[in-house]
Structure 1
């Protein structure tokens, strides 16, 4: 089984984009739950605005991961950048977060 980690970095303008596309983004994550195992937003502190996010993706090629990112309603190249990493999971066991 292969795993990938996607790290997203947001600009300040992404906050409004998040508000406008939040429902579509959640629907997209649900639709692709067989590959996007988990994800969530990053904040500097618990109550501060989002500054980025993370996905863990399984059983995909790098090209498929990039397609998932580019087709996500949250993705806007002017507002959000991303990095994709192959993740060598140290202990291959089921994890619930």
Structure 2
């Protein structure tokens, strides 16, 4: 099951990203078999991150939710919220590897 999480950061919580990015990146690396790709979202190049996006390759939605809620950024309050959506693609795109 391929799911996408779109995160919005909490206002005034930039300090969490600054102080805990190493923990967050280690978490992503540890879970790279289930979080196929992830990264920050910005309004323009060089801007402060506005949020993030993850693409999951998991067996169930609950697995993605558990990963989101175990992430240091989520636990420490950087994330104001997230949207978790099922991602599908037309067959003509063929195999998409991430």
> Shorter-chain TM-score category?
0.7 to 0.9
Aligned twin of 1:43? 42
Q: Report how far residue 76 of structure 1 moved.
A: 4.1
Q: Report how far residue 47 of structure 1 moved.
A: 1.0
Q: Is the contact made by 1:3 and 1:89 (CA closer than 8 Å) also made in structure 2?
A: no
CA distance in 2, matches of 1:25, 1:18: 8
CA distance in 2, matches of 1:46, 1:70: 28
Aligned twin of 1:85? 85
Higher helix share: 2
Q: Under a length normalisation based on structure 1, what TM-score does the superposition of the two structures give?
A: 0.88
Unaligned residue ranges in structure 1 (runs of 5+): none
Q: Is the contact made by 2:38 and 2:54 (CA closer than 8 Å) also made in structure 1?
A: yes
CA distance in 1, matches of 2:94, 2:4: 15
CA distance in 2, matches of 1:77, 1:22: 11
CA distance in 2, matches of 1:35, 1:53: 16
Aligned twin of 2:7? 8
Aligned length: 95
